[in-house]
Amino acid sequence: MTRQSPIDIRVDDRTLELSHLTKLYFPRDGITKGALIAYYDTVAEHLLAHGRRRPLTLERAPDGIDGERFIEKQIPRGSPAWVRRIALPALGGSKRVTYPLCENRATLLYLVNLGTIAFHGWISRVGSLTRPDFAFFDLDPGERCSIATLSRVALTLRKELEDAGLTALVKTSGATGLHVLAPLKGARSYAAVKSLTFDIARLVAAERPKDVTLERSLSERDRRAVYIDYRQIGRGKTIVLPYSVRLRDGAPVSTPLYWGEVEEFAGMRLRGEPSATFARYNIAAVRARLNRHGDLWAAFERSAQELPIINR
């Protein structure tokens, strides 16, 4: 195969050199690096809306998902000065980490061209990094958990949040699980938000004891149950951004959902892991979905809510 020469494009008044566009990033699906860049170009407006001002952790695989992959918190070496960044103290030490910030389309495509496939952002934003702007629950199904069970647990979680006075949003993780978020006004500490997520998770576990586990140890979990991880609240904790691609066959995308879709999943009689259902939300489908429905989370910041106190 003849190697394609790099091409220069103008983005946001910057010149980007895009290289190795024909390299297969998802070889079993025939998806090239060029196709991945084209996808991110299409969804840039929406991904940036959710990722702006959040320190990023990059999940990179410059030779595709079958090659070396690594997690990178530091801004990639050699990044141009116009790529914004923020230096923050590392957890548990005196060193500092210089995180990239993705504030515009040029930065997004620059980072994808470096082999970034997935983008993970802090749960707080620059200017209020000690105060998260959403509560977050990661619903992780066991290997024998059905899509119906996972979805019923998500619906129960939504009800408990509503009973507490919070409107919840839901998206696929891009892998096998669901992420349930409640946008917040960002006036409270990590500890206060984590206390809320703990209280809500306990209520859901009490209501669905056969379907939910809060056990952190994989070996001790019921493989048919859903692990509710309520602990992903804290300085430096991240969540995969909406519309980020994941490093899995099929190029699945972390996709905002209608709650009605989750209700439909809850009525399914399918066995086995939910990834087969969520795999339909891939880079081709999500582009078409955005054309039809727009960003289901477009009102995320406007829907921010006060943190309630759980008295039950």
What pLDDT digit, counting tens, does each position of 6-21 carry? 899 999 999 999 999 9
Separation of CA 240 from chain center: 2
Alpha carbon distance 260, 71 (integer Å): 34
Across residues 182-204, what is the average pLDDT?
96
- Is 35 strand, coil or helix? helix
pLDDT per residue over 234-248, tens digit each?
999 999 999 999 999
In the structure, what pLDDT confidence band is assigned to residue 278 with cuts at 50, 70 and 90?
Answer: very high
The string of DSSP letters for 116-140 reads: EEEEEEESS-TT-TTS-SEEEEEEE
Supply 240's token pair.
């995969």
What pLDDT, on the 0 to 100 scale, is given for residue 1?
44
Supply 204's token pair.
């859901």
Residue 213 has pLDDT above 90, yes or no: yes
pLDDT per residue over 151-166, tens digit each?
999 999 999 999 999 9
Which of 91-95, 215-219, 261-265, 306-310 shows the lowest mean pLDDT across its residues? 91-95
Using alpha carbons, select from 297, 13, 53, 41 the residue that is nearest to residue 171: 297
Supply 81's token pair.
């000065």
Domain locations in the chain as residue ranges: 7-122, 134-239+248-303
Please check whether the domain covering 7-122 is classified as CATH 3.90.920.10.
yes
In the structure, what pLDDT confidence band is assigned to residue 130 with cuts at 50, 70 and 90?
Answer: very high
Which of the pair, 91 or 291, is modelled with greater confidence? 291
Alpha carbon distance 243, 256 (integer Å): 8
Torsion of Cα atoms, 124 then 129 then 135 then 136, to 10° = 60
Please state the pTM of the whole predicted model.
Answer: 0.95
pLDDT per residue over 282-296, tens digit each?
999 999 999 999 999
Q: Which CATH class is domain 134-239+248-303?
A: alpha beta
Alpha carbon distance 43, 39 (integer Å): 6
